[in-house]
Each structure stands twice: as C-alpha cells, then as structure tokens.
C-alpha cells in the first residue's frame, strides 16, 4: 500500500509527496472532505512514509515499521476517536496527547497523533490543542481528519496545513466494486451512482441489505400495507442490527484479555465500543433515509422525463415505472423532516412511524 493506492486525489497526493520530499513537515495537517474518499488511508500513508526505512517519501507496506503502523501498535503513533454516547472528544483525551507530545519519540524522528472526527472535539479540548499548535512541542505532527472542518475553531484551521479530498469518480467506484466484490456491471453502476463518490458507502450497500429493506418498505407502502405495522417492523429491524453489532464487537475481546486489563482500561474499551455502536447505528439510520430519498427522487425524475439515464437507482427502472406513487416531492419533504428530527435526537420509533404514515398517503 502506497500513495499511489489513493484514488482520484491527485492534488492531495501531490501536495503530500512534495511535503515529504522537501522535508517540510508541518506540526499540524487537516485532511477534510466527504466520508469514504481516502482521508484515513492518506493519514496512515503519511505516518508510514515518514517512518518506512525501505522507501523514500513513500512506504513499502511490508517492513516491520509499516506492519506496526497498520496494526496500530507503533510506539510513536497515537490516535484519538470520539467516545461515550455523546461521541465527543473531551479535554482529557487531548491533554493526554499533549503530554505525550512533550516526550521524545521512541523509534522515529516524529511523534504522530491522528485525531479522527476532529470536529467532535469539545470547545475546551480545541482550546487546549490550539495552545500546542501555537507553540509546538518538539517534533510532533498532529493529523486532524474531518468531514465538517468549519466546526473547528478558525484559529485551529489557520494553524493546520489544510488538504481537501473530493468525491471519487463514478468509474473509479465501479472499478473497485467489480475488482473486490462479485457484482454485475449493472449493479456496480447503480451503486456507484447512489454512493455519490463515497467508496465506504458503496461497499456498505454491497455488503448490507439496506437497499433491499428500503425497497421492500416502499413497495409495501405503495401496495397499501399498514404503515404503523411497517414502522414497528422497521424499528425492530434497526434494533436487531444494533444488537448484532454490539455482539460482534464484544466477541473481538476475549474474557481472558479483558481480565488482564485494569478496571480503567476495561471501562475505556466499553466506552469506545458503546460510542462505535451508537455512531454506526445512527449512520445506518440516516443511510436508510438517504436510500428512501434517492428512490422518491428517481420516481419524480422518471415521471417527468421517462429517461432511465437520469436515475440513481438505475437497476430499478421496472419497479420505478410500475409503482404508483402520488406526490413524490411531498414524500421527499417528509424524509427531510424526519432527518431533521433525528438530528435533534427525537425518538426514532416515533419519527419513523410519522414518516411511514406520510409516505403511505
């Protein structure tokens, strides 16, 4: 794995290459852009390129140093992610990084800190980080990753070398799906259109049953099924998905491994698992809404143009043509309202109940 594996981000990769070749590594870098376009891969490649002994200004991906970084156990690499149900990064986590930044590196020339979802830092945490960025402690590199950089303090953004990542090209998504998954050309093209240049979304749509679930709900609503019953079934489906994810995460940690840890470490692992489950579940709920919206958008477009080339769900033309749906524009408005309510943390079951009644009209 090297910088050449980062697709459709030529400007960002060229900048990073120049930064390394000229040995002008800043104390802070902000990688920003939509999800699933290569920011996390780039952050890992920066760390490996700085440390890899086999390649200059890039990484081999095979040496001991690269393997340590890939497995997250390099002594000079530290990461921070949002934790707890609030999914925030608090000041204690940032202070821990700052304390480490004051120490000399163990194996490399730099201590490197990756802050995932940096915009989730609470204001006190951002202020503490700002002091360190203003007065860097030794050879420390902070890599901030964000989908919403404007949520960061302007003063933090101004002290970071900002590198923008854009959406992937549809043909790139199709190529990668066809290479790594057993899908037809038609399905890959449809998934690429829905993914809107986000590879993580495309892979999720291939590996999950989200589209099938959404199409089943839309079809049953169009056929006159009881929206209250459908809402209850959908809520149960979401609960089961969350339970399965929680069980999968717990299975990754054996009881013996947990016993060897301190009480504080066990609590931290539990908090991180809870935060991850909540984050993934919330993202999945919003993805279901997004898929519903794409379908009603396609219905609106198809009713107006009868042009299948304009559809996002291109493999659903027969379904779109045969389905009798009144007021798709109003239904899109109902979905947008449901998204707003969920972002305000209203009760999910009630939101979907009201939405399904609106979609059944």
Partners of 233 in beta bridges: none
**Domain final position from 132, 148, 164:** 164
Q: What is the CATH number of the domain that holds 70?
A: 3.40.50.300
Asked if 135 and 108 touch (Cβ cutoff 8 Å), the reply is no
Residue owning tokens 């947008």 = 336
Q: Which domain holds residue 264?
A: 208-360
Q: Is residue 318 part of a domain?
A: yes
Interval 58-66 mean pLDDT? 90
Tokens, residue 35: 């999800």
Q: Is residue 201 part of a domain?
A: no
154 with 256, same domain: the answer is: no
Interval 268-294 mean pLDDT? 87
Residues 71/4/166/89 CA torsion (nearest 10 deg): 20
143 with 221, same domain: the answer is: no
130 with 252, same domain: the answer is: no
Q: Is residue 135 part of a domain?
A: yes
Share of the chain above pLDDT 70, in %: 97
- 268-to-83, 260, 271, 286 alpha-carbon distances in Å: 8, 14, 5, 27
Spatial neighbors of 353 by CB under 8 A, at least 6 apart, are 227, 228, 231, 232
Spatial neighbors of 73 by CB under 8 A, at least 6 apart, are none
pLDDT score of 215: 93
- Where is pLDDT greater, at 259 or 293? 293
Tokens, residue 173: 């998504």
233 with 338, same domain: the answer is: yes
8 with 157, same domain: the answer is: yes
149 with 240, same domain: the answer is: no
Helices 199-207/210-222 angle, 10° precision: 70
* Residue 197 pLDDT exceeds 80: yes
pLDDT score of 264: 78
How many domains would you assign to the chain? 2
**Helix residue ranges per DSSP H, the chain:** 10-21, 39-51, 64-70, 91-101, 123-134, 154-158, 170-180, 185-195, 199-207, 210-222, 227-251, 255-259, 263-305, 317-322, 328-343, 348-360
153 with 222, same domain: the answer is: no
Q: Is residue 202 part of a domain?
A: no
Question: Which band of pLDDT confidence, cut at 50, 70 and 90, is reported for residue 138?
Answer: confident
pLDDT score of 44: 94
> Mean pLDDT score of the chain, rounded to an integer?
90
pLDDT score of 240: 93
Q: Is residue 183 part of a domain?
A: no
15 with 127, same domain: the answer is: yes
Burial 106-122 (b: 16+ CB within 10 A, else e): eebebbbbbbbbbbbbe
* Residue 279 pLDDT exceeds 70: yes
Question: Which band of pLDDT confidence, cut at 50, 70 and 90, is reported for residue 191?
Answer: very high
216 with 159, same domain: the answer is: no
Please state the three-class secondary structure of 235-275 as a single string. HHHHHHHHHHHHHHHHHCCCHHHHHCCCHHHHHHHHHHHHH
255 with 149, same domain: the answer is: no
23 with 105, same domain: the answer is: yes
Task: List the single range of 112-116, 256-260, 327-331 with lowest mean pLDDT.
Answer: 256-260
Q: Is residue 159 part of a domain?
A: yes
Q: Is residue 346 part of a domain?
A: yes
Q: Is residue 190 part of a domain?
A: no
* Residue 266 pLDDT exceeds 90: no
239 with 114, same domain: the answer is: no
* Residue 2 pLDDT exceeds 90: no
* Residue 189 pLDDT exceeds 70: yes
- Name the DSSP class of 313: S
């Amino acid at each position: 794995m090297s910088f050449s594996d980062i697709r459709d981000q030529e400007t960002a990769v060229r900048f990073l290459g120049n930064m390394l070749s000229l040995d002008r590594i800043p104390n802070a870098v902000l990688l920003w852009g939509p999800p699933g376009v290569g920011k996390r891969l780039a952050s890992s490649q920066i760390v490996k390129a700085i440390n890899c002994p086999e390649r200059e200004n890039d990484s081999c991906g095979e040496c001991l140093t690269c393997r340590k970084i890939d497995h997250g156990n390099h002594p000079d690499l530290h990461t921070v992610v949002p934790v707890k149900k609030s999914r925030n990064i608090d000041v204690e986590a940032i202070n821990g990084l700052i304390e480490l930044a004051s120490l000399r590196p163990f194996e490399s020339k730099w201590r490197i800190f990756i802050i995932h979802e940096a915009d989730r830092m609470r204001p006190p945490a951002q202020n503490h980080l700002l002091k360190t960025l203003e007065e860097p402690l030794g050879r420390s590199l902070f890599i901030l990753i964000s989908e919403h950089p404007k949520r960061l303090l302007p003063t933090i953004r101004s002290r970071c070398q900002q590198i923008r990542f854009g959406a992937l090209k549809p043909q790139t998504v199709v190529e990668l799906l066809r290479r790594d998954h057993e899908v037809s050309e038609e399905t890959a093209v449809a998934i690429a259109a829905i993914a809107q240049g986000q590879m993580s979304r495309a892979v999720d749509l291939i590996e999950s049953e989200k589209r099938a679930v959404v199409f089943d709900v839309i079809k049953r609503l169009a056929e006159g099924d009881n929206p209250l019953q459908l809402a209850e079934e959908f809520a149960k489906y979401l609960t089961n998905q969350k339970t399965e994810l929680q069980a999968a995460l717990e299975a990754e940690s054996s009881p013996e491994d947990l016993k060897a840890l301190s009480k504080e470490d066990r609590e931290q692992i539990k908090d991180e698992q809870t935060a991850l489950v909540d984050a993934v579940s919330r993202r999945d709920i919003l993805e279901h809404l997004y898929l519903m919206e794409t379908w009603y958008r396609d219905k609106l477009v198809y009713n107006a143009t009868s042009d299948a080339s304009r559809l996002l769900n291109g493999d659903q033309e027969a379904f779109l043509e045969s389905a009798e749906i009144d007021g798709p524009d109003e239904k899109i408005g109902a979905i947008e309202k449901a998204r707003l309510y969920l972002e305000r943390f209203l009760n999910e079951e009630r939101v979907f109940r009201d939405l399904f009644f609106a979609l059944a009209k």
